[in-house]
Amino acid sequence: MRWLLKGGRVIDPSRDVDAVLDVLVEGDRIAAIGPDLAGPAQELDCRGKLVVPGLVDLRAHLGEPGREEAETVASATRAAAAGGFTALGARTATDPTIDDPALVAFVQDRARRSAAVRVYPLAALTKGRAGIELTEMGALRDAGAAAFSDDDRPVTNAGVLRRAMEYASMFDVPIMVHCEDPDLAGEGVMHEGFHSTIHGLRGIPGAAEEVLVARDLILAELTGARVHISHVTTARSVALIREAKRRGIRVTADVTPHHLILTDEDVQPDDARWKIRPPLRPWSDVEALREGLRDGTIDCIATDHMPHPPAGTELEFDQAPWGIIGLETALPIVLDRLVGTGALSLKAAVRAMSTNPARLLGAPGGTLELGAPADIAVIDPEAERVYDPAEGYSRSRNTPFAGWALRGWPVATMVAGRWVVQEGRVIG
Amino acid sequence: MGWAHRSLIRMRDLTAEDIVRILDTAAACKDIFRRAVKKLPTLRGQVMVNLFYEPSTRTRTSFELAGKWMSADVVNIAVPSSSVVKGESVTDTARTLAALGADIVVIRHPAAGVPAMLARSVGAAVINAGDGMHEHPTQALLDIFTIRECRGTLAGLHVLIVGDILHSRVARSNIWGLKRLGARVTVAGPPTLIPSGLERLGVGVSHDLDRVLPRADVVNVLRIQRERQTSGLFPSLREYTRLFGLTRERLQLLKPDALILHPGPANVGVEIDREVMDDPRARIEEQVTNGVAVRMAVLYLLMGGRQDAMVA
């Protein structure tokens, strides 16, 4: 099958392209890219649309195994496809956690049978994500683990983390760390400050993140491991990472769409859809995150997609589970609230949502160069829609963005030369 | 002027006019105590449910009496925290209450935000009787009522709140109400028990009780929870008393016309001495009486009553 994507604005940061061009797809590959390409091929009129390499999410929770009431590989990957994603890193906070090659194989098997986009399983750094014993990283890597991550649990024992980094440094696989000191975070449920005080909710100071960012950067330098700092939220974390990069430490970092636009002032204490970890921070931190994204200190935007069934979001804030879904809103949020307001260039947005995360996971996408896999997202930058999670593909609806009017939505998604989304709807 | 609120969840939502309206109504209610027959027919045929997820004798009894004196049918549901299924849905509770035909739900819960969630999902009027570290509006109203009764007005008064401000819903509700009525508020306690951001509420912070006591018109002494010591927030009760207890010795620092309040129950000898509670400047028992009056007033206003009708 040959497809010709006609007349779209092609943005490919991997080759520094931003021009109106045609893209020819042959089989599962990109066969040609240039002005006024001709068939024979089936045509998709992309005039007025953006044509970008398919988005890649570093970290999404796919629900399998163990949390199928919240999400499945099938539902999460359809939500991802609808959101313009063509590849996902699968979070390890499953039940059981992905800490064994057989479980990596299980996720891959579920993906082969039911996924709409590519799935890259992450694997736990320590057995049971308990922070004590190392997992069989060699076997996990060979089974296909794209990165090692204890998901939302920090390795609190610095000695264990040092050994894990040292050991992992012989494989070219990144370690994703969650930086939150559990003693400083305590029983906190939102950022510690004026708003936690008036809501009577326990606070998590920015320092809970920053002390572990500092520690993990120092350990990265000591061990030479590839370290990736997940969901950075504070100005000081950004400054620490910037300084580490300047000194040549092999570190990368990401930020979520919600931490780039929401603050602790937005938190609704009687609505568990606002229980987000790490917590939403004040505006001064948000500004620093944006600056970090612009200057390349922060490499990627990752969703942290964390589905919960309604029984979870009906709980009181203290008891409710952490996290929100994000696959279907990540791109519209970034386009409307960051690109649309001039806070981020379109090219930087695509770089942070496709080029860089693909490189980090070692995924083949993230580029539209000749011969690359035909993983493509077509975006209508003018489309305006009010987001209703009930109309989405995720099994869960826990998001504070319900009812938001957003401009800029994906309309077509191609994975390996096959359309998985057309006219905004998932097909097949 | 009409009463706009269907429920009472937080002092933060009340205007100065709202608060004065409650205080005036409470004053009329207090007069009723002096009658031989205390009953008012206002809430006849209404079902009031006291739903307490935390143990409380004082507040629950106060609400119960207020409801009974207004002729409501009062049902007490005490849910011992040990038997609460962790993660029981507030929505499920709301459905149960609706099925019971509750018109008024008074709720105390260890988690902040639950009364607001309940108010959103039930038709009944909801009164927050304390939610976690968030708010306890009727306690603040009775404290403010007691101050106004003694001093005539709140405007310009300097109110000092002493103790564990961090975990205190009483402090938070008091701060909103006192500021709305024009009082100056200072809190005193160790830095580990003072939450961040209070300056944005226009509240002064002191860690030196002896320095601020002589300037206070009202001292509201908060109960200190013994378990705060084991969680490392201060080294010992003895040291707490030494630095922040309202002791017999410190009475001399107080203005002759200062008022001493305590929301109760007091840890005598820890945050407050017996002699201080017995001092003529203390209004601690009066607070209990005023609590019933204030809660009657709240019930009355929430259930659509008019103040002139009650006084008549």
> Picking from A207-211, A269-273, A418-422, B90-94, which range would have the lowest pLDDT averaged per residue?
B90-94
- The residue-averaged pLDDT of B208-219 equals 98
Residues A267, A192: Cα–Cα separation, whole Å? 12
The verdict on a CB contact (< 8 Å) between A317 and B90 is no
Distances in Å between the Cα of B197 and the Cα atoms of A79, A276, A301, B43, B191 are: 40, 21, 31, 41, 12
Q: pLDDT band for B39, please (50, 70, 90 cuts).
A: confident
B-chain residues near A316 (CB < 8 A): 90, 109, 111-114, 117
Distance from CA of A198 to the nearest CA of B (A): 7
Residue A368 is assigned to a structural domain of this protein: no
Q: Which residue has the tokens 């390349």?
A: A296
Distances in Å between the Cα of B99 and the Cα atoms of A359, A387, B52, B105, B124 are: 57, 34, 18, 13, 11
Of A196, A203, A317, Cβ closest to residue B111? A317
Q: Which residues contact B249 (CB under 8 A, 6 or more apart)?
A: none
Q: pLDDT band for B100, please (50, 70, 90 cuts).
A: confident
User: What does R_g of chain B's alpha carbons equal in angstroms?
Assistant: 19
Q: Is the model's pLDDT at B2 over the cut of 80?
A: no
Q: pLDDT band for A86, please (50, 70, 90 cuts).
A: very high
The residues that bridge with A176 in the sheet, in sequence order, are A149, A228
Q: pLDDT band for B35, please (50, 70, 90 cuts).
A: confident
CB atoms near residue A264 (< 10 Å): 23
Distance from CA of A202 to the nearest CA of B (A): 8
CATH number assigned to the domain comprising residue A174: 3.20.20.140
B-chain residues near A193 (CB < 8 A): 196-197
Q: Is the model's pLDDT at B86 over the cut of 70?
A: no
B38/A77: higher pLDDT: A77
For residues A6 and A126, state if they share a domain: no
Per-residue pLDDT tens digits for A252-276: 999 999 999 999 999 999 999 999 9
Q: What is the pLDDT of residue B312?
A: 35
For residues A13 and A42, state if they share a domain: yes
Q: Is the model's pLDDT at B82 over the cut of 60?
A: no
pLDDT, mean over chain A: 97
Residue A366 is assigned to a structural domain of this protein: no
Q: Is the model's pLDDT at A310 over the cut of 90?
A: no
For residues A104 and A154, state if they share a domain: yes
Q: Which residues contact A16 (CB under 8 A, 6 or more apart)?
A: none
- The residue-averaged pLDDT of A202-206 equals 97
Q: What are phi and psi of A42, to 5 degrees?
A: -75, 140
Pair of tokens at residue B140: 């603040």
Q: Which residue has the tokens 């107080």?
A: B254
Q: pLDDT band for B168, please (50, 70, 90 cuts).
A: very high
**Residue among A169, A305, A158, A266 nearest A225 (CA):** A169
Domain end among A361, A384, A414: A361
Q: Is the model's pLDDT at A313 over the cut of 90?
A: no
Residues A180, A193: Cα–Cα separation, whole Å? 17
Task: Provide the residue type at B138 as one letter.
Answer: T
Per-residue pLDDT tens digits for A14-32: 999 999 999 999 999 999 9
Residue A367 is assigned to a structural domain of this protein: no
The verdict on a CB contact (< 8 Å) between A201 and B197 is no
Identical fold between B11-136+288-311 and B137-286 = yes
Distances in Å between the Cα of B81 and the Cα atoms of A318, B77, B86 are: 15, 12, 9
Distance from CA of B60 to the nearest CA of A (A): 21
For residues A145 and A191, state if they share a domain: yes
Per-residue pLDDT tens digits for B225-277: 877 777 889 999 999 999 999 999 999 999 999 999 999 899 999 999 999 99
Q: What is the pLDDT of residue B222?
A: 97
Q: Which residues contact B128 (CB under 8 A, 6 or more apart)?
A: B7, B8, B9, B10, B107, B115, B116, B135, B136, B137, B138
Per-residue pLDDT tens digits for A338-369: 999 999 999 999 999 999 999 999 999 999 99
Task: Provide the residue type at B259 as one letter.
Answer: L
Q: What are phi and psi of B293, to 5 degrees?
A: -60, -45
The third-level CATH classification (topology) of the domain covering B137-286 is: Rossmann fold (3.40.50)
CATH number assigned to the domain comprising residue A24: 2.30.40.10
The verdict on a CB contact (< 8 Å) between A314 and B198 is no
- As to burial, measured by CB atoms within 10 angstroms (0-12 exposed, 13-18 middle, 19+ buried), residue B6 is middle
For residues A214 and A320, state if they share a domain: yes
B-chain residues near A196 (CB < 8 A): 195-197
Per-residue pLDDT tens digits for B293-312: 999 999 999 987 644 445 43
Q: Is the model's pLDDT at B6 over the cut of 70?
A: yes
Task: Report the number of distinct structural domains present in chain A.
Answer: 2
Q: Is the model's pLDDT at B156 over the cut of 50?
A: yes
Q: Is the model's pLDDT at A400 over the cut of 60?
A: yes
- The residue-averaged pLDDT of A96-120 equals 98
For residues A192 and A289, state if they share a domain: yes
Residue A74 is assigned to a structural domain of this protein: yes
Residues A243, A225: Cα–Cα separation, whole Å? 17
Residues A222, A162: Cα–Cα separation, whole Å? 8
Q: From A199, which residue of chain B is nearest by alpha-carbon distance? A: B134
Of B116, B131, B197, Cβ closest to residue A197? B197
Of B117, B133, B196, Cβ closest to residue A200? B133
The verdict on a CB contact (< 8 Å) between B90 and A316 is yes
The verdict on a CB contact (< 8 Å) between B197 and A193 is yes
**Residue among A138, A58, A145 nearest A105 (CA):** A145
Asked if A70 contacts A395 with a C-beta cutoff of 8 angstroms, the reply is: yes
Residue percentage of chain A with pLDDT more than 90: 96
Q: What is the pLDDT of residue B298?
A: 97
Q: From A320, which residue of chain B is nearest by alpha-carbon distance? A: B87
For residues A75 and A194, state if they share a domain: yes
The verdict on a CB contact (< 8 Å) between B135 and A200 is yes
Residues A351, A254: Cα–Cα separation, whole Å? 12
Q: Which sequence spans correspond to the domains of chain B?
A: 11-136+288-311, 137-286
The verdict on a CB contact (< 8 Å) between A269 and B112 is yes
- The residue-averaged pLDDT of A48-70 equals 97
Asked if A175 contacts A225 with a C-beta cutoff of 8 angstroms, the reply is: yes
Residue percentage of chain A with pLDDT more than 70: 100
**Catalytic residue numbers of A, as ranges:** 304
User: What is the domain extent for residue A22?
Assistant: 2-50+373-426
For residues A111 and A153, state if they share a domain: yes
Output DSSP code: residue A54: P
Domain end among A361, A390, A414: A361
- The residue-averaged pLDDT of A404-408 equals 98
CA B246 to chain centre: 20
The residues that bridge with A410 in the sheet, in sequence order, are A379
- As to burial, measured by CB atoms within 10 angstroms (0-12 exposed, 13-18 middle, 19+ buried), residue B84 is middle
For residues A46 and A60, state if they share a domain: no
Check if CATH label 3.40.50.1370 holds for domain B11-136+288-311.
yes
Residues A293, A344: Cα–Cα separation, whole Å? 8
Q: What is the pLDDT of residue B308?
A: 44
Q: Which residues of B touch A (CB under 8 A)?
A: 12, 86-87, 89-91, 109-114, 116-117, 120, 131-135, 169, 172, 195-198, 200-201
**Residue among B270, B266, B144 nearest B217 (CA):** B144
ipTM confidence score: 0.92
The verdict on a CB contact (< 8 Å) between B134 and A199 is yes
Residues B90, B114: Cα–Cα separation, whole Å? 7
